[in-house]
Amino acid sequence: MGQQQLLLIVVGIIIVGIAVIIGINIYHANSIETNRNNVTNELVNLAADAQKYFRKPREYGGGSNSFIGWSVPRQLANTSSGSFEIDGEILDDEINIIGTGTEVITDNDTVKVNIKVLPNNYNVTIIN
């Protein structure tokens, strides 16, 4: 084989290697973003459940204009997207829920999203 042919083979292998590495990085970034979106969606559903509890009278199993007594339902505490728990103290008019995703970003860092639930709205904060 000539030098030119060997050079073309080496360049071809390098290009294929770079393409594979770029593809793996894009796939990993997409997995992280998908997990972050899934965790956020589940947190919004939990916020709606907490607001429903807030508005429901005590006689019907609600909080009568208070979040105190609400908890993350057992079947929703751990899902395929991640785990969800109350962050901090539950107040009459405010509750914070944190979602920890299953996708690892770097080393021990995972996807984390917080939602602050108020009686009439909520505020999502992406931690990781």
* Of 106, 50, 114, 107, residue with least CA distance to 82: 114
Residue 84 neighbours by CB distance under 10 Å: 23
Q: Kindly report the pTM of this predicted structure.
A: 0.85
- pLDDT value of position 18: 97
pLDDT digits (tens, 9 = 90+) for 7-31: 999 999 999 999 999 999 999 999 9
The tokens 């860092």 sit on which residue? Answer: 109
Number of domain units in the chain: 1
Collapse the DSSP code of 117 into the 3-class scheme (helix H, G, I; strand E, B; otherwise coil) and give the result: strand
Which of 67, 64, 59, 70 minimizes the C-alpha distance to 118?
67
Domain that holds residue 103: 3-126
The per-residue pLDDT for range 73-110, each reduced to its tens digit, is 999 999 999 999 999 899 999 999 999 999 888 877 89
